[in-house]
Amino acid sequence: MVSNSIEINLIAGALGAEIQGVDLSQPLDNVTFEHIHQALLDHCVIFFRGQDITPDQQHDFAKRWGKVHFHPHIKGLPERPEIFEIVKDKDDVHTLGGDWHTDQMFTETPVRATMLYAKEVPPHGGDTLFANAYLAYETLSVGMKGILDGLYTRNTYNMRKNRASAMQVNDIEERPVEAEHPLIRTHSETGRKAVYISYEGITRNIVGMTEAESAPILTYLRKHLTRPEFTCRFRWEEGSLAMWDNRCVQHLAINDYHGHRRVMHRITVAGERTH
């Protein structure tokens, strides 16, 4: 227990905590918000269950964390364009976010935090996995840390080729966007270091190396970062809300509910340049 009615319960050893005693449909006082903020810094991803919030209320909660980010390519809700709806219909094959990644690493200023709210969930399946990138770095050998510190990666993405079938996109160019980021990122609030990569379709190579030369290092780091003991798993319910810190977390949406529909509302908090 941290104050009055707020309770923080860890869901795994590596990361993740459920927060109880908070109604996100109501304005939060500063003390309550600071407890929630610290919980995110401590546990990297936080979860709230049983929430009944409107898009405006989700937007208001996101604003407490900083400037709200507009996705550069995906259309938002008509009444609240900062939020976009992720829909996977029962016949869709592709799932948005179905590979281990951190959000919008292909941009110069990747989003700081992502907030996902469950509107409609399948009767089973559709869980999300999260991985702690701090632990991935901290458990590397001294020699490997020495090799990786100071390196940068090239990250690219083509929204037109990779979007989910149910997503509504704005007019976008055929050529992919591209950005460079430190392979080992220092968190701007905690000062801890984390392995900062995404799947091979985004993090293409280490700057100064070819893709073939980079592959052994990046492949090792991807496998290392997503070791089971570095992860947690969240089972969604209608009214669940998850928020994660993209500076130190990777996530993956599990595509195991074909024949059922899933609807989520996503909003993100603007980030900062990584270098």
Site of tokens 């550069």: 72
**Active-site residue, 103 included:** yes
- The single residue of 69, 251, 262, 265 carrying the catalytic annotation is 251
Question: Are the C-beta atoms of residues 264 and 117 closer than 8 Å to each other?
Answer: yes
- The single residue of 59, 69, 71, 101 carrying the catalytic annotation is 101
Report residue 153 as tokens.
């990666």
3-class SS of residue 98 = coil
What contacts 47, CB < 8 A, 6 or more positions away? 11, 16, 17, 18, 19, 234, 240, 241, 242, 243
Report residue 36 as tokens.
């929630």
Residue 197: is it exposed, middle or buried by C-beta count within 10 angstroms (0-12/13-18/19+)?
buried
**Active-site residue, 266 included:** yes
Residue 55 CA to its chain's centroid (Å): 19
Secondary structure (DSSP) of 26-78: SPPPHHHHHHHHHHHHHHSEEEE-S----HHHHHHHHHTTSPEEPPSSB---S
- The single residue of 103, 204, 245, 265 carrying the catalytic annotation is 103
Active site residues: 101, 103, 251, 266
